[in-house]
Amino acid sequence: MACLFHSIIRSAARGGLRPGDIITEVKGVQIQNADSVQAQVQATPLGNTLQFEVNRNGSSQILIVRPDQLPVAASNQ
């Protein structure tokens, strides 16, 4: 299983994630769905980096992402 990355969040875009990327691992943990990506991101303190493994057009790539705090409006949704 994996998670298809549909939309760009500022920190994800800075880390190199692109729409259409399929996230296969975060911090060495195999991704089953969007909730498992969210759990790994939430478990990482702000300012720390996350290693994402993605499948982009059939090729595996490693990306380093530093999560940002969500804007207040986004975190209330």
Examine residue 11 and state whether it is found in any structural domain, yes or no.
Answer: yes
Tens digit of each residue's pLDDT (9 = 90 or more) over 10-39: 777 788 888 889 999 999 999 999 888 888
Residues 6+ apart with CB under 8 A from 50: 15, 26, 27, 40, 41, 44, 64, 65, 66, 67
Q: How many domains does the chain have?
A: 1
Domain span at residue 22 reads 3-61
Specify the higher pLDDT residue, 7 or 16.
16
Examine residue 75 and state whether it is found in any structural domain, yes or no.
Answer: no
Q: Which residue has the tokens 């939430």?
A: 42
Examine residue 68 and state whether it is found in any structural domain, yes or no.
Answer: no
Examine residue 67 and state whether it is found in any structural domain, yes or no.
Answer: no
Examine residue 71 and state whether it is found in any structural domain, yes or no.
Answer: no
CATH code of the domain containing 19: 2.30.42.10
